[in-house]
């Protein structure tokens, strides 16, 4: 049914963000439009129906509704999930709360922070997802060879189940030591618990994340159990309300790695949709790359509070299985590998006591927002600086719905920054941009240079409300020669929901070295993972002919603790194919870490199969071609704007994006205004519009110089 939907229906992508709920709607003839409503935090479903009715889309005509939601991560961050219990191997129930004994994980500034709060049950603590009294132990033990050392004490487990019943536990996670090697005990525990606790969902660690490291596996399993009842209720409510209004289509969800899963499956494995928002934006970039034939892209998604940077190579973004939620909980399922920092339009600038200008990570949010909004904010923000640099049109912000006040921006920057630093207003505004751009550049470097990729091979895609304002200067700073601005930068993430395929990833621990591994055993293991994947996709309605299977193995030099994911060819494996995989590993290791160790043995840790189930994509209709290269019809005026190259304000042409047509050429400096953002095109740049309305910009090759002031 997924593979052969009626071609007459509407397709809708809904992305729920902190401030706005964004829609991208494709009508039956392939025209795209966008819609935006304010998010309704008390009940997220409200905003969905408000937006749908605002857009006038007939609910009965929608064949496909893809959804990205922060419901899961909100539940974890706000500790608003179900009353969940954990069952572990005797002696190990505290692994969840002890974690790995770290108190500074992602923020280097925590090294000397004695006031930090950890996810532990104490006065001032941030609470674990499951408190100690709800963590139970049963006698059982599997050893490092996968052999049973202590048999599962079923009577004890039934006793625990009775306690859980008395405690009215709403969800249960089971995590036994070494269950990734031998899941027999976990399986049996699952049977017993389901029998004793009918209707209570049970999450088993070997099903959620069958890999080594007990804390990491337990934490991921617990997150699944913790959010499951809430996500299930949410999805059931959403679907029943849709159906009441005549909806007959398919509801799907974006997973954290950019693939889609159907709603029934998401109710079983909600842990996969936790980070769906950032993944959707990257999925849109991958699609844009394929659409425009651009293989290597850097994705820059800048909103009100954060900037997210991701690298897309050969049309694909990498995933990571090493993700922390707020430094509190480890999430080991594949998540689109991106860097997120506190740098957006609402990010605040301040002068510290040592006289340095700092930008972020604190944000003015949408309330009170930047000073220039005139909503009571007095702290200078990045948006205030962008306004004073001449980038934003005070009369055309959100299409004129919200006039900006340059005098308030100037006052905020003068009082808080220019005066204490002893510099001019212009210099202070410029300083904010320089520093916030430096912070974002650092993220771009983390994703590119630090992993052995040369930014010169990439095209930067700027989107989100503020991405297009900063993209060109950032690109020049890190040496990216080309930029791509999608037609709908503001709702681009919601578009990602409509252009992604169904995805299922199966994995299995396979501990061996490449030298000792039996190619036959490897082939069989991959075969089993492939049938599991095909089964999962078939269950979600995908026909075999629409499935693509990809194999990979996580490898490392014997003794290392961190693996590199290496692609593995399909079909039966032979010694020759194993050698090929080894060679790829050496090459990747050298690329990432500057050396290879040909003499060392290579360990296989995990085998993975990724299944992609093709979903029909929007077939956007090309825009009508312009009559000539000159965009004079779209030119709406000019104003003074500051550019880094000349180091001063220059007269800059302003264009209306809605009037630009394929074939138009724009020479920088220029500003291109559209409803939800402004594109800043520096002097020396040359831009053209493609047939789908994407703007491709090439920067001049002139290097940037550090400026000196007397």
Partner 1 sequence: MTPRGGGARRRPSRGSRRTDPFTLEVIRGLLEAVPREMASTLKRTSFHPIFNEVNDFSCAIFDARGDMVAQSVSNPPQLGTMESSVKAAIQEIGLESLHPGDVVIHNDPYRGGNHLPDVTILMPVFHRGALVLFPANRGHHGDIGGIRPGSFAGDSTSIFQEGIRIPPLLLYQRGKLNRGVHDLLMANVRTPHYMTGDLRAQVAACETGGARIREMMNRYGAALIEEAARYAMDHSERLIRREISRWRPGTYTFEDFLDSDGIERDRPVRIRATVTVKGSSVHFDYSGSDPMVRGPVNATFGVLTSATYNAILCLTDHRIPTNHGCYRPISLTAPDGSVVNARFPAPVVGGNTETNNRITDAIWAALAPILPRRVTAADMGTTFNVSAGGPDPRTGRYYVWYLSPPGGMGARATKDGMGMVVGAKLGGFPAHISLEVFESHFPWFSHEYSIAPDSGGPGRFRGGLGVRWRISPVDHTAELTINTDRIFISPYGLFGGYPGLHGRFVVARDSGSEEGVEVGKGSFAVRPGETIFLRTPGGGGYGSPLERDPLAVLRDVRNGVVSPERAQEDYGVVLTPDGASVDAPATAALRTRLAGERHRETIFLDQGQAIYARQRFRIVALTDAPASVAEDDPGPPP
The CB-of-700 to partner 1 minimum distance in angstroms stands at 17
Nearer to partner 1, 454 or 627 (CB): 454
CA 701 to each of CA 253, 433, 448, 669: distance values in angstroms, whole numbers, following the listed order = 42, 21, 20, 15
Under DSSP, the state recorded for 621 is P
Check if the beta carbon of residue 272 is closer than 8 Å to that of residue 209.
Answer: no
Distance CA 292, CA 287 (A): 9
Name which of 33 and 419 has its Cβ closer to partner 1: 419
Which runs of consecutive H residues, i.e. helices, occur in 167-252?
Answer: 184-196, 205-208, 214-244
- For residue 486, give Cα distances in angstroms to 225, 476, 520: 38, 19, 47
Polymer length of the chain: 710
Q: How far is the CB of 174 from partner 1 (least distance, A)?
A: 16
Whole-angstrom distance, CA of residue 249 vs CA of residue 11? 9
Residue 140 near residue 174, CB atoms below 8 Å? no
Please check whether residue 274 is in contact with residue 76, taking contact to mean a CB–CB distance below 8 angstroms: yes
Whether 384 and 428 have beta carbons less than 8 Å apart is answered as: no
What CA–CA distance (Å, rounded) separates 500 from 631?
34
In sequence order, the β-bridge partners of residue 680 are 671
> What DSSP element (H or E) covers 317?
strand 316-317
The beta-strand segments (E) located in 479-546 are 482-485, 502-513
Other Cβ atoms within 10 Å of 486 Cβ, number? 24
Nearer to partner 1, 101 or 293 (CB): 101
Host H or E run for residue 346: none
CA distances from 249 to 6, 26, 34, 244, 619 (A): 10, 14, 20, 12, 19
The residues, any chain, with a CB within 8 Å of residue 252's CB and separated by 6 or more, are: 64, 65, 66, 67, 260, 261, 262, 263, 502
Least separation in angstroms between residue 594's CB and partner 1 is 5
Q: Closest CB to partner 1 among 124 and 198?
A: 124
CA–CA gap between residue 24 and residue 35 (Å, rounded)? 7
Nearer to partner 1, 245 or 450 (CB): 450
Considering the complex, state which of residue 424 and residue 630 has its C-beta at the smaller distance from partner 1: 424
């Amino acid at each position: 049914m997924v593979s052969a939907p009626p071609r007459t229906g509407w397709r809708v992508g809904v992305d729920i963000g902190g401030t706005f709920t964004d829609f991208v709607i494709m009508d039956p003839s392939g025209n795209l439009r966008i819609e935006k409503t304010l998010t309704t935090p008390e009940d997220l479903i409200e905003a969905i129906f408000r937006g749908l009715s605002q857009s006038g889309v007939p609910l009965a005509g929608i064949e496909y509704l893809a959804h990205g939601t922060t419901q899961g991560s909100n539940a974890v961050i706000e500790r608003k999930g179900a009353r969940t219990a954990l069952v572990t191997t005797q002696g190990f129930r505290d692994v969840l709360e002890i974690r790995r004994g770290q108190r500074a994980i992602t923020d280097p500034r925590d090294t000397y922070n004695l006031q930090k709060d950890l996810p532990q049950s104490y006065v001032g603590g941030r609470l674990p997802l499951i408190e100690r009294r709800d963590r139970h132990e049963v006698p059982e033990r599997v050893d490092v060879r996968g052999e049973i050392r202590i048999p599962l004490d079923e009577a004890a487990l039934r006793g625990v189940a009775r306690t859980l019943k008395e405690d009215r536990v709403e969800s249960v996670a089971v995590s036994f030591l070494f269950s990734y090697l031998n899941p027999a005990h976990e399986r049996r525990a699952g049977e017993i618990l389901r029998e004793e606790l009918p209707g209570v969902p049970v999450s088993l660690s070997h099903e959620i994340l069958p890999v080594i490291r007990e804390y990491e596996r337990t934490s991921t399993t617990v997150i699944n159990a913790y959010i499951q009842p809430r996500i299930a209720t949410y999805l059931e409510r959403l679907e029943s309300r849709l159906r009441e209004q005549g909806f007959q289509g398919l509801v799907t969800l974006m997973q954290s790695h950019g693939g889609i899963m159907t709603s029934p499956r998401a109710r079983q494995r909600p842990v996969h949709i936790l980070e769906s928002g950032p993944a959707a934006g990257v999925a849109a970039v991958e699609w844009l790359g394929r659409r425009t034939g651009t293989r290597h892209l850097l994705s820059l998604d800048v909103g009100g509070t954060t900037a997210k940077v991701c690298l897309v190579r050969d049309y694909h973004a990498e995933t990571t299985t090493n993700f922390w939620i707020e430094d509190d909980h480890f999430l080991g399922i594949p998540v689109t590998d991106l860097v997120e920092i506190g740098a957006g339009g609402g990010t605040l600038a301040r002068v510290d006591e040592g006289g340095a200008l700092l930008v972020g990570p604190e944000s003015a949010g949408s309330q009170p927002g930047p000073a220039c909004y005139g909503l009571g904010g007095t702290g200078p923000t990045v948006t205030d600086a962008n306004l004073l640099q001449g980038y934003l049109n005070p009369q055309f912000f959100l299409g004129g719905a919200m006039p900006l006040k340059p005098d308030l921006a100037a006052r905020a920057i003068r009082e808080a920054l220019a005066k204490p630093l002893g510099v001019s207003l212009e210099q202070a505004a410029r300083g904010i941009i320089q520093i916030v751009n430096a912070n974002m550049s650092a993220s771009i470097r983390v994703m590119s240079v630090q992993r052995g990729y040369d930014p010169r091979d990439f095209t930067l895609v700027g989107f989100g409300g503020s991405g297009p304002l900063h993209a060109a200067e950032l690109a020049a700073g890190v040496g990216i020669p080309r930029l791509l601005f999608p037609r709908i930068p503001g709702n681009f993430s919601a578009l990602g929901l409509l252009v992604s395929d169904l995805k299922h990833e199966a994995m299995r621990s396979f501990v061996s070295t490449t030298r000792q591994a039996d190619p036959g055993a490897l082939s069989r293991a991959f075969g089993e993972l492939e049938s599991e994947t095909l089964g999962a996709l078939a269950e979600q309605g995908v026909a075999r002919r629409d499935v693509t299977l990809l194999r990979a193995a996580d490898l490392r030099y014997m003794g290392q603790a961190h693996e590199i994911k290496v692609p593995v060819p399909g079909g039966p494996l032979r010694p020759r194919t194993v050698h090929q995989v080894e060679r790829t590993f050496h090459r990747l290791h050298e690329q990432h870490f500057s050396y290879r160790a040909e003499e060392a043995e290579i360990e296989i840790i995990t085998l993975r199969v990724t299944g992609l189930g093709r979903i029909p994509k929007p077939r956007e209709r090309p825009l009508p071609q312009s009559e000539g290269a000159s965009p004079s019809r779209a030119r709406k005026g000019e104003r003074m704007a500051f550019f880094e190259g000349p180091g001063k304000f220059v007269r800059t042409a302003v264009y209306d994006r809605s009037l630009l047509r394929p074939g138009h050429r724009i020479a920088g400096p220029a500003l291109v205004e559209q409803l939800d953002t402004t594109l800043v095109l520096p002097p020396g740049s040359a831009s053209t519009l493609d047939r789908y309305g994407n703007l491709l910009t090439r920067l001049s090759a002139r290097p940037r110089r550090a400026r000196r002031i007397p």
